[in-house]
């Protein structure tokens, strides 16, 4: 039996949603510290971002510039009082507006 395109699309969306929910199953912890990153395309230039929260597999940062998905680097941040350095990749970036009306960006860093 041939599945229609709309049924295949619905199944694919449901699968993606289930995987996303499972990935975020572990709780997120507020992270109020700077996240310092040396991006691989500029290995000698340190960039500092505001950490918002973290989980076992990633962290969310705030930035004033768009960060392209797939960008990789080496990030250092504090988690549970311990300095952590990990290789990261940008998983997503979204535009937001600060309380003062300024355009800012949030990005999800996946820890590798």
Q: Report the C-alpha gap between 69 and 94 in whole angstroms.
A: 10
Please state, in angstroms and rounded to a whole number, the distance separating the CA atoms of residues 13 and 7: 10
pLDDT value, residue 1: 47
What is the arithmetic mean of pLDDT over 15-35?
64
Position 26 pLDDT exceeds 60: no
CA of residue 4 relative to chain centroid, distance: 34
**Token pair 């949603």 in the structure block, residue:** 17
Q: What's the CA gap between 78 and 93, in Å, rounded?
A: 22
Nearest-angstrom CA–CA distance, 71 and 110: 11
pLDDT top residue among 41 and 22: 41
Region 82-102: what's the mean pLDDT?
A: 91
Domains and CATH numbers, the chain: 28-111 (2.40.10.220)
pLDDT, tens digit (0-9, with 9 covering 90-100), for 41-69: 999 999 999 999 888 889 999 999 999 99
User: Which parts of the chain fold into alpha helices (H)?
Assistant: 5-23
Residue 90: predicted pLDDT: 96
């Amino acid at each position: 039996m041939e599945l229609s395109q709309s049924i295949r699309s619905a199944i694919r969306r449901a699968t993606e949603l289930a995987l996303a929910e499972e990935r975020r199953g572990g709780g997120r912890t507020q992270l109020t510290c700077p996240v310092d990153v040396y991006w691989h395309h500029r290995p000698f230039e340190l960039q500092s971002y505001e950490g918002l929260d973290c989980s076992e597999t990633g962290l969310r940062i705030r930035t004033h510039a768009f960060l392209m998905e797939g960008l990789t680097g080496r990030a250092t941040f504090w988690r549970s009082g311990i300095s952590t350095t990990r290789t990261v990749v940008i998983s997503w970036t979204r535009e937001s507006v600060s309380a003062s009306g300024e355009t800012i960006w949030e990005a999800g860093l996946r820890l590798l």
